Amino acid sequence: MADAASDGLAPIAAAILGPLGAPFRFALSEEQLASAQDYVTQQQRHGTRGLAASSCRTRAADWLTWLAFCAHYDRVVLPARFDDVRELLDQLVAAGRKKATLEHLLWSLADIHRRHGCPGPMDSAIARDYWRDLVREQLDGEQRQAAPMTLDLLDQLVTALLAHPLTVRRVAAGLRPVAEHAQRRRRARDAAMLHVAYDLMMRSAELVAMEWARLMPLPHGGATYRLGKTKTDQAGVGRTLYLRPATLAALDAWRTQSSQGEFVFHAISDDVHLDPAGAPSEAVGAQWQTRRERARQREQRPLGTREVSAVFRRAVSLAGLDLDLHWLTGHSARVGAAQDMVRAGSSTAQVQVAGRWASERMPIRYAERVLARDAGEDRFAKLAAMQRRRDRS
């Protein structure tokens, strides 16, 4: 069913039985089924998808949530009734889900209904009234912000990565040097990643997609990186960004230990340095050879986006810092860099350009505390100066 949702359609024949053995219920008309089939045919003929891969994945997750609800309560999957959607929304609100989560679920349901030629469950006037009441009385748009990784924190994390004693997991005595070597490589990679994430204010997806070929060292220190397609540059016009000399040094240190493949940041495996010639037996040597080849293939692929947050949190753990690890994420470098820029006197418009945001909304949100402090201090300093002038007169 996840595949069905990623295509934006529910294949009826493949979705007859739910997880409990009961059939899913559909009430699609012949005209709606024909419309859906025509859409699939046209999509296959033209090779179109219409949405980014991440959007397809999140829509699939929402669709599975709706399927699970329908299977549990024996409700019609398509077309969805407003009463049923309202019941699901009420349950999600009671479970503590945020406004953004509910908005995304409603977008996914509306998109899938549209592709089936069905009216959306929230298209009616009463549905819109319900949503306005829900937002006004039970929901708020406040979202918890990722913890900022400022330049000061970056220095602490990198120092911890490079200076903290190695702590390899329990391995056979003969394989301990291999595990320690992998740990050193991992720390060199993580240090370089932290530097790059801060300097380029990169999103997780941009970070793991970095390629060595786009990195150009400068004659007097530092480097530039040519960024291609991004979330806010779907046309791939590209941007040239600057890396500090310290960041280039970290990248150079990592490059000498990397797999020398296409991608800058890749997974690291202990097995890549197994030596079959040193195996205790011929059979074990053959196993090590197979494991080494698989590890080499794995190291040619980029990291997944989820690993970026794990890298940040591992570094915080090594540094022994008292931070809320749950909220140090792949966005933390963007938040911290935005706050540092504002502290240094940059405008939110300049932060917007540096971070490649589509508007000033996110820079303002990320730097909200800094901006509030500066505005408050400036306000009361001016009031104090006015009072002094008045007292002198």
> 340 and 387 in one domain?
no
The CATH code of the domain that includes 214 is: 1.10.443.10
pLDDT, tens only, 136-159? 888 876 666 678 889 999 999 999
Residue type, 226: R
> 357 and 342 in one domain?
no
For residue 30, what are the domain limits?
A: 2-137
Which among 62, 52, 36 is positioned nearest to 115, based on CA atoms? 36
- Give DSSP secondary structure letters for 10-79: --GGGGSB-TTSPBPEE---HHHHHHHHHHHHHHHHHT---S-HHHHHHHHHHHHHHHHHHHHHT-EEES
> 30 and 125 in one domain?
yes
Percent helix, strand, coil in the chain, to 5, is 60, 5, 30
pLDDT, tens only, 85-113? 999 999 999 988 888 899 999 999 999 99
The CATH code of the domain that includes 69 is: 1.10.150.130
Report the distance separating Cα 105 and Cα 311, nearest Å.
30
> 359 and 342 in one domain?
no
> 227 and 177 in one domain?
yes
Of the ranges 6-20, 93-107, 289-303, which is most confident? 93-107
> At which of 83, 105, 137 does a domain end?
137
How many CA atoms lie within 13 Å of 265's alpha carbon, on the beta-carbon side? 26
> 219 and 203 in one domain?
yes
pLDDT, tens only, 175-203? 777 778 888 888 999 999 999 999 999 88
Encoded tokens for 273: 């340095």
Tell me what pLDDT residue 10 has: 46
Report the distance separating Cα 54 and Cα 231, nearest Å.
10
Confidence of residue 223 (pLDDT cuts 50, 70, 90): very high
Residue type, 122: M
- Greater model confidence, 249 or 270: 249
Report the distance separating Cα 161 and Cα 318, nearest Å.
7
Q: Is the pLDDT of residue 2 over 50?
A: no
Tell me what pLDDT residue 328 has: 76
Rounded to two decimals, the pTM is 0.72
> 293 and 248 in one domain?
yes
> 295 and 211 in one domain?
yes
Within 166-272, strands assigned E span 215-217, 223-227, 239-243
> 105 and 81 in one domain?
yes
> 258 and 157 in one domain?
yes
Largest CA distance in the chain: 97
Q: Tokens 């502290």 belong to which residue?
A: 343
Cβ atoms < 10 Å from Cβ of 363 = 27
> At which of 92, 107, 137 does a domain end?
137
Report the distance separating Cα 106 and Cα 114, nearest Å.
12
Positive or negative torsion for Cα 300, 302, 306, 309: positive
Domain count, the chain: 3
Which among 261, 300, 267, 292 is positioned nearest to 186, based on CA atoms? 267
> Does residue 145 lie within any of the structural domains?
no
pLDDT, tens only, 28-54? 888 888 888 888 888 888 888 777 777
Residue type, 370: V
Q: Is the pLDDT of residue 6 over 70?
A: no
pLDDT, tens only, 310-333? 898 888 888 888 766 556 788 889
Indicate the range of 11-25, 68-82, 288-302 predicted with least confidence: 11-25
Phi, psi of 163 (to 5 degrees): -110, -20
> 95 and 26 in one domain?
yes
Which among 211, 189, 209, 202 is positioned nearest to 242, based on CA atoms? 202
> 193 and 47 in one domain?
no
- Give DSSP secondary structure letters for 318-372: HHT----GGG--TTHHHHHHHHHHHHTT--HHHHHHHHT-SSSHHHHHHTHHHHH
